[in-house]
Chain A
């Protein structure tokens, strides 16, 4: 169901200006797409030099397979999948950090199943505010504080906007598990952002 959602094409429209036809020169493809591909790899790996390595490996694969590209999906969608997979492969080799439990960041309920957290009202915020440099920096910092198995699901689903089925495949887990992790990741991130939201800064 989710795999057929149109959000994927909408996401790719963000790269619309970088789109190059499959018969374009490889050099044009590299120059036109490397910026967003590097951004994707950086978000997944968080390490700039590892991200560069992942992008280099991805382009090597793209170059090898470009002739066989049948245009079943958009070129940028295909390239996105390749760079995500290369970055994930490097991530698996990376020493695991941030393996702390997520439970302290999850909402609490009493014996009757009632919410026990201290409620607060979110202030009015414009789309511009959410996209301000300051907010984006805070967001990146807080996302990096999430335990790794949750961070990666949030990055792939909510930032990269990959469909649940693709994320499940890339991470070798069930779709149900992706959904559970995504929800917990968002709930934990909300907890981490709470001081900012209470202060009206977000």
Chain B
């Protein structure tokens, strides 16, 4: 969509989102984290999902947000690569100091 087309859509949305039962993109933004944790109270969840249905910008935004989250979570599985880089002298240092008196 062209820039002017988007501006037009935004103006229409600006009016639409003031209707009862509607929330703005800004309010939608504030609900995202809790929505993804599935902890939004039912009434707010309905508002959130209705906004999602009518607002393409927020749909695309949420998709990119989810993708970011998935890519971040994929980093959790990054342990194996480190296995070989544990310095042997670190292991020895830890084992050597274990019999020392704890520092006071």
Contacts and interface: CB of A to CB of B under 8 A. Distances in A.
Interface in B46-87: 55-58, 60-61, 63-65, 67-79, 82-83, 85-87
Of B58, B75, B76, B78, most buried by chain A (CB within 10 Å of CB) is B75
Contacts of B91: 30-31, 34
Contacts of A110: 10, 14
Interface of B: 6, 10-11, 13-15, 17-18, 24-27, 29, 32-34, 37, 39, 55-58, 60-61, 63-65, 67-79, 82-83, 85-87, 90-91, 93-95, 97-98, 102
Interface of A: 1-2, 11, 14-15, 26-27, 30-31, 34-36, 38-39, 42, 52, 55-56, 59-60, 63-64, 107, 109-122, 125, 127, 130-131, 135-136, 139-140, 143, 154, 158-159, 161, 179, 182-183, 186-187, 189-190, 193-194, 197, 202
Given A158-B72, A186-B69, A113 B64 contact: no
Contact of A202 (B27, B67, B86): B67
